[in-house]
Structure 1
Amino acid sequence: MLLISTYVAPSSIEGLGVYSDEYVPCGSLIWSLNPKFDVFVNEIELGSLPAHVRSYIARYSYPHLEMPGCRVIDVDNGKYMNHSLAPNTDFRIFDKGYALADIARGEEITCNYHEFDPDFVGFMPDIAAAARVQPLNATAP
């Protein structure tokens, strides 16, 4: 859950991005995992979901590093945070995100997906195709 005020707008990085709606000093805690606000999805359940929902989960979720077989979907603007190899945030502590530098109001907030998704290799051209991959022992809709 984002702990700062943000908004979503077009991004030069990828589609939409999340932008700070306030000045954020370096070192500030800007995000914290909150199981009452962030959605946890068991990977075993993916096969029973409609294709468009699997596509959404493939695009906007990441693995819960302390709960194998579980994916997390941010329900706030955090899901629009774009990947950068030179981010302005630090997510190396799984359930916390900090500002690595002062973030100005109107600045895009970025993170390095590799910090919380060790298997991240970039977005596939057809994310829907990736969502159609069924987990073992799952049944298709």
Structure 2
Amino acid sequence: MLRVKTYIAQSGIHGIGLFAGQSIPKGTVVWGFDPPLDQRFTPEDVSKMPPVMKTFLSRYAYSDRGTLVLCGDHARFMNHSPKPNCGNDPTRQYTLALRDIAEGEELTDDYVTMEDSWEPFAGIIEPERM
């Protein structure tokens, strides 16, 4: 769940993006995995889903340690950047501000370092990529 004030708006990167609704100092926890709002799905869970759900997950979930994680709030609108202002903590349970982030700045993450391979879901679902 997001731990800072944010809002969604049109993104110059891709479609809709997530933006800082306040100044965020470097090191601040921006997001944390908080069930039941945030969900994890195994390959077995996903294999039982109808196509419309798989399509949604392929767009908004990310792969983490053999599961798909779906953020239950607007964090799912965080776009990719090769020079992100947010990133994982060492436990990968939290997303941190990598530098000071100004109010109104789009929050971004590097999908390459943020998530694992979608291999456990091969043949079940394919990730949507920008």
Report TM bin, short chain: 0.7 to 0.9
TM alignment of 1:10-21, pairs within 5 A: 10-21=10-21
* 2:88 equivalent among 81, 88, 91: 91
Bigger Cα Rg: 1
* Residues 24-56 of structure 1: CA deviation (Å, up to 9, x unaligned): 111211111112320111221223222111000
* Residues 58-106 of structure 1: CA deviation (Å, up to 9, x unaligned): 11111232xx3x2110011110000011000121531111111111111
Distance 1:116 1:53 in 2: 22
Residue number in structure 1 paired with 2:6: 6
Runs of 5+ in structure 1 lacking a partner? 121-130, 136-141
Letter in 2 for 1:96: Y
Residue number in structure 1 paired with 2:128: none
Identity %: 30
| C-alpha contact 2:43 2:124 (8 A) present in aligned 1 | no
Q: 1:45 to 1:36 in 2, by over 3 A?
A: closer
TM-score when normalising by structure 2: 0.84
TM-score when normalising by structure 1: 0.78
Distance 1:96 1:109 in 2: 14
TM-align CA RMSD: 2.0
Residue number in structure 2 paired with 1:116: 114
Distance 1:46 1:33 in 2: 19
Letter in 1 for 2:72: V
1:73 aligns with 2:70: yes
Residue correspondences, number? 122
Letter in 2 for 1:49: M
Letter in 1 for 2:18: V
Residue number in structure 2 paired with 1:138: none
TM alignment of 1:8-87, pairs within 5 A: 8-65=8-65, 68=66, 70-87=67-84
Letter in 2 for 1:99: A
Distance 2:69 2:57 in 1: 9
Letter in 1 for 2:5: S
Q: Secondary structure at the match of 2:82?
A: coil
Distance 1:86 1:15 in 2: 18
